[in-house]
Amino acid sequence: MATSEQTEKLSIQQMIEEQRGKKAKKRIEKSIPIILFLIASISVLTTFGIVFTLIFETIEFFQRVPFLDFIFGKEWLPFSNKEPLFGILPLIAGTLKVTAIAVVVAVPFGLASAVYLSEYASDNTRRIIKPILEVLAGVPTIVYGFFALTFVTPLLQQFIPDLKIFNALSPGIVVGIMILPMIASLSEDAMTSVPNSIRDGALALGATKLEVAVKVVLPAALSGIMASIVLAVSRAIGETMIVSLAGGSTPRFDLDMTDSIQTMTAYIVQVSTGDAGFGTTIYYSIYAVGFTLFLFTLLMNWLAHAISKRFREEY
């Protein structure tokens, strides 16, 4: 009896032992992490690719256009036959106009939605509204651009008769609508992560929900909220299709919101859809503009990162 027990107990182990020699298990275990590391490096390569592409072509651009003329020039006239001018300030002005309007629209509405969702809304309401915000965030920008051009601009023209077909206001508002869900959902996350015990403490003292939201939750979630706004600004700066369709292609260095503008992104699109040949100054100029744009968004992302890093240390 004892021996039968012995053999039986060992049989599966024996089978396992037999299989052990056959398998190339060890080689797999060794090679998998290397393969996966190589895959993970692709994202680093992508960043390097972006940075080097931009830098090399921008250097090429600066061989033709003086650096100072580029960053301080107040006129952007690349297509001029007599004397092309590559002063980027008008493009930056266009970008900032649209971004400023977008922020004016998105921050109040986004924050109000976030407060409503995190402090007032019932679970059911939240379950309905949050997916709708997700849909809003998932609408392709080309669709928003079309909406700005064919609906928002004509609508605004009813109130502002001077408004041109292409202007800063309409794409600004629509970019605002586009980044609104981002501010709402990231700020809401920041607010919901404020511990309930803090809320309860204030409520137990007889504070209304409004007072809790404004005096307790908002300050506690402030850095998260700031980070969400900065990220949204970064998104607005890099937004391309809305401004291409509804902003126009007239770079101008002023504060006029009603007239045609051009943003950095829209310029890149304008050149790409035109027929500027490879190797021309205009061709290289899109890289210089792209590089400027990249630096702007990089700065914003780092800022958001720095802010939210402080936020994590708070609790």
Partner 1 sequence: MVQVNLNKPQLKETTDSNQNVNMNNIVYDTKQLNLWYGNHHALKNIDLAIKENEVTAIIGPSGCGKSTYIKTLNRMVELVPSVKTSGQIIYRDRNIFDSDYNVEELRTRVGMVFQKPNPFPKSIFDNIAYGPRIHGIKNKKTLDEIVEKSLRGAAIWDEVKDRLHENAYGLSGGQQQRICIARALAIEPDVILMDEPTSALDPISTLKVEELVQELKENYSIIIVTHNMQQAARISDKTAFFLNGEVIEFDQTDTIFSTPSDKRTEDYISGRFG
Partner 2 sequence: MRHIDHKNVVKRMGSRMILNKTFKAIFFMATLFALLSLAILFYRIVSQGIGFISIDFFTNFGSRIPENAGIVAALVGSLWMMAVIAPVSLILGVGSAIYLEEYAKKNKLNDFIRMNIANLAGVPSVVFGLLGLTIFVRALALGNSILAAGFTMSLLILPVIIVASQEAIRAVPKELREASYGMGATKWQTISKVVLPSAIPGILTGGILALSRAIGETAPLVVIGIPVIIQFLPDNLLSQFTALPMQIFDWAKRPQEAFQSVAAAGIIVLMMFLLIMNSIAVVIRNKFQKRY
Q: Which does 67 bind (CB under 5 to 8 A by kind): partner 1, partner 2, none?
A: none
Q: Which does 2 bind (CB under 5 to 8 A by kind): partner 1, partner 2, none?
A: partner 1
Contact (CB, 8 A) for 266 and 247: yes
Q: Please say which residue, 20 or 82, places its beta carbon nearer to partner 1.
A: 20
Closest to 263 (Cα-Cα) out of 244, 282, 276, 283: 244
Q: Which does 4 bind (CB under 5 to 8 A by kind): partner 1, partner 2, none?
A: partner 1
Q: Phi first, then psi: give them for residue 77, nearest 5 degrees.
A: -130, 65
Q: Which does 108 bind (CB under 5 to 8 A by kind): partner 1, partner 2, none?
A: partner 2
For residue 5, give both structure tokens.
Answer: 């027990």
Q: Which does 43 bind (CB under 5 to 8 A by kind): partner 2, partner 1, none?
A: partner 2
Q: Please say which residue, 244 or 260, places its beta carbon nearer to partner 2.
A: 244
Q: Please say which residue, 21 or 33, places its beta carbon nearer to partner 2.
A: 33
Closest CB 33 distance from partner 1, rounded Å: 16
Closest to 266 (Cα-Cα) out of 284, 247, 285, 283: 247
Closest CB 36 distance from partner 1, rounded Å: 19
Judged by the rule CB under 8 A, the positions of this chain that interact with partner 1 are: 1-2, 4-5, 7-16, 18-20, 22-23
Euclidean distance between CA atoms 270 and 244, whole angstroms = 8
One-letter identity of residue 97:
K
Q: Please say which residue, 208 or 255, places its beta carbon nearer to partner 2.
A: 208
Q: Please say which residue, 17 or 254, places its beta carbon nearer to partner 2.
A: 17
Q: Please say which residue, 3 or 63, places its beta carbon nearer to partner 2.
A: 63
Q: Please say which residue, 1 or 37, places its beta carbon nearer to partner 2.
A: 37
For residue 187, give both structure tokens.
Answer: 């700020």
The DSSP-derived string for 25-67 is: HHHHHHHHHHHHHHHHHHHHHHHHHHHHHHHHHHHHHHHHS-H
Q: Which does 197 bind (CB under 5 to 8 A by kind): partner 2, partner 1, none?
A: none
Closest CB 309 distance from partner 1, rounded Å: 23
Q: Which does 241 bind (CB under 5 to 8 A by kind): partner 1, partner 2, none?
A: partner 2
Closest CB 30 distance from partner 2, rounded Å: 10
One-letter identity of residue 190:
A
Closest CB 34 distance from partner 1, rounded Å: 20
Q: Which does 11 bind (CB under 5 to 8 A by kind): partner 2, partner 1, none?
A: partner 1
Euclidean distance between CA atoms 227 and 219, whole angstroms = 13
H or E segment and range at residue 296: helix 281-314
Closest CB 4 distance from partner 2, rounded Å: 25
Q: Phi first, then psi: give them for residue 86, nearest 5 degrees.
A: -125, 60
Euclidean distance between CA atoms 106 and 101, whole angstroms = 9
Closest CB 213 distance from partner 1, rounded Å: 39
Closest to 265 (Cα-Cα) out of 224, 237, 228: 237
For residue 38, give both structure tokens.
Answer: 């190589």
Q: Please say which residue, 5 or 313, places its beta carbon nearer to partner 1.
A: 5
Closest to 64 (Cα-Cα) out of 310, 311, 279: 279
Euclidean distance between CA atoms 94 and 87, whole angstroms = 13
Three-state DSSP class for 76?
strand
Closest CB 28 distance from partner 1, rounded Å: 12
